Amino acid sequence: MNRSFRLGPARKWHFLAAALGSAFLLFLALPGYFGWWPLLFIALVPLLTAALYLPPLRSGCMGLFAGLVCNILVLHWIVVVLGRYGGLPPWLSVSAMVLLALYMGLYLALFCFLLSLLAGRYWQKERSVTALVWTAPVLWVGLEYLRSVLFSGFPWLDLGYGLHSQPVLIQAADLGGHHLLSFALVLANGLVVSVIDRQRSAIHWNISMERRVLLMACCFLVFVFGYSVVRYRVMPSFFRQSLLAEISVIQGNVAQDEKWLPEKKEKTVAVYEQLSQGVLREKTTELVVWPESALPFYPQKDPLAQRVADMVRAENVYLLTGAPTYSVTPSAEEKTVEYFNSALLIDPAGVVIGSYAKQHLVPYGEYVPLRKYMPFLAPLVESVGDFTAGVSSQPLAMGNHLKLGVLICFESIFPQIARDEVASGANLLVNLTNDAWYGRTSAPYQSMAMSVFRAVETKRSLVRAANTGISAFVDPAGNVLEKTDIFTAEALSAQVPVLEKNTVFVRSGHLFGTACLAFTPALLLFRKRQV
C-alpha cells in the first residue's frame, strides 16, 4: 500500500522536537562539558524515528536543523580561536562559527535525506524497520569518512569518540578504527527504534524474517563489545612482556599572546628548562617531550638553540620539541624559502638527529587558502607565518629501541596519519600540541578524547605534550595513566609499554570508513531497482 504523509501543525512540531532532542542528547553525550556516554546508545533515536516517516526533503531539513544546533554547541570554541587569538571582530568570529556548524550540519542533513529515501515509510506505511537498522550505520560512517577527507577534512568529534573514557568498550577500534565504534552505536540506536516500532498494534510484514535480521544486528553488537571486553582483559599480559620507556612531558603553560614576542622567547626557554631539570632530578628519564612550538624561534639561526643543546648535553637525555623551521631552495631566478611546523629530536650530545614536518596543516590557522581573495583573514596567521605541509611519515629513531611517530596539533584527529607512521615502523606515538588557542572551553577535552583512539587503534602508547594542557600518557589499551589540568605549569613522568605488533586496523582496518562510503551508491542502486 502506498501512502503520502501530510503533516499537520502538531506533527511538524513533533519532528522539530525530535531534531532538538537528538541535538541536545548528542551534546550531552559527547566529550566536553558533560560526556554522559551512555546517552550515545539512545541519542539518535528521536532523529531516526522521525526520518523513518518523513519524506526525504523534510527529513533532510530536520537533519540540517539538528546538525546546526548540535555543532553550534560543540564548536562554540571557534569564536575564542578566531576572536581572542585570531584578531577577528566578534560579528565575524560568530559568523564563521555558525558557517562551520552549518557545513557540519550538511552531513547530518544528507544522512537523514538518504535514510528516508532508502529506508523510510513515506511511500509505504508498513515497510519493515530492519532496512533502517542496517542502512543507518552504513550511511553514518560513510559520511563521517567523507567529512574527514573533503576540503582537507575536519573529522571533529565523530560519534565513536564519545566512548573514549570507557577503554573496556573501545578495543574493537584496533579492527576498524573509531568508525567501527560509530557504526556500532548507530546500529544500537536503530535497534532501540525497532523495539519501539514493534509495539505497534498492526504489523503486517514478515515477522520471522525481521527477527532474523534484527538478531544479526544484536550478534554484531555482541561481537564488537564482546571482543572489546576480552581484548581489554588480555592486554596486561602484552604489557608485561614488552619493553618500558621512561618518558617525561613538560607543560610550560606559556601564554599564547606572549610566547611569540621577541623579548619573551628567552623567558619561554627558561620555563621549559627549569621544569625539565626539576623532573630529571627525580626521575631516570630517557626522553623529555616539549610541546608544539615550545621553541618560539627558528633553531637554525637563533643563538638560544645552543642553550637548549647545552641543557640536553648536561642532562644526558633525548629531547623532542616543537619548533618552526625553514628550508631554502636556490634556483636560477631567486631563492625559495619554505616554512614548516616541525618537531626536532635532539640526542644527548645536543645534536638534532631527526625532524618531522607537520603534514596536515590547519586551514586559516597555519595557511590561508585563497588568501588574496580574502585579505581580511590575514590576522589569523600573522603570528605563526604561512607554513608548508610536510610529506614524510617516517618515524624518528631514538637509539635502537624507540621509533617515534609524531603527531603535531590536530593531526591527532586524523587516524590515517597515525596509521601511516605505525605502518612505517613507529612503536610509540607522540602528540605535540598547543591548545592555548582554545582558551577555557570544551575543546582541549575534546581534542584529548580523540587522541585516546590513536593509541587503541594502533596498540601503541601515546605521549601527549600540550603547552597549556591537557598533557597525558595513554597506554595501548586506552587507559590514561597520567594527565594534567589545563592552564597549569607541570612536569609529568611515566613508564609506558612499547609494543611492536601491528593491528588489523594498521594492516587493513583503516579502510572500514572507506568501505561504508563506497557501499552507499550500491544502496541507492538497490533502492532504484526496488521502486
**Contact predicate 265/477, CB 8 Å:** no
How many of the other CB atoms lie within 10 Å of CB of 339?
A: 18
Report in angstroms the alpha-carbon separations of 137 from 140, 148, 184. 5, 17, 7
In angstroms, rounded to a whole number, what is the distance separating the alpha carbons of residues 506 and 422? Answer: 7
Paired with 249 in beta bridges are: 289, 492
- Does the annotation count 265 as an active-site position? no
Distance CA 140, CA 316 (A): 50
The C-alpha atoms of residue 79 and residue 90 are separated, in whole angstroms, by 8
Residue partners of 491: CB distance under 8 A and separation at least 6:
248, 249, 250, 251, 275, 276, 278, 279
What is the rounded distance in angstroms from the CA atom of residue 124 to the CA atom of residue 5?
10
Among residues 259, 358, 403, 459, which one is catalytic? 358
Does residue 182 contact residue 107 with C-beta atoms inside 8 Å? no
Catalytically annotated residue among 112, 409, 457, 459: 409
Residue 193 three-state SS? helix
**Cα separation, 31 vs 54, whole angstroms:** 30
For residue 309 the three cell numbers come to: 643543546
409: annotated active-site residue: yes
**358 tagged catalytic:** yes
Per the structure block, which three cell numbers stand in for 268?
619561554
The radius of gyration of the chain's CA atoms, rounded to the nearest angstrom, is 25
Nine cell digits for residue 135: 542502512
Active site residues: 292, 358, 409
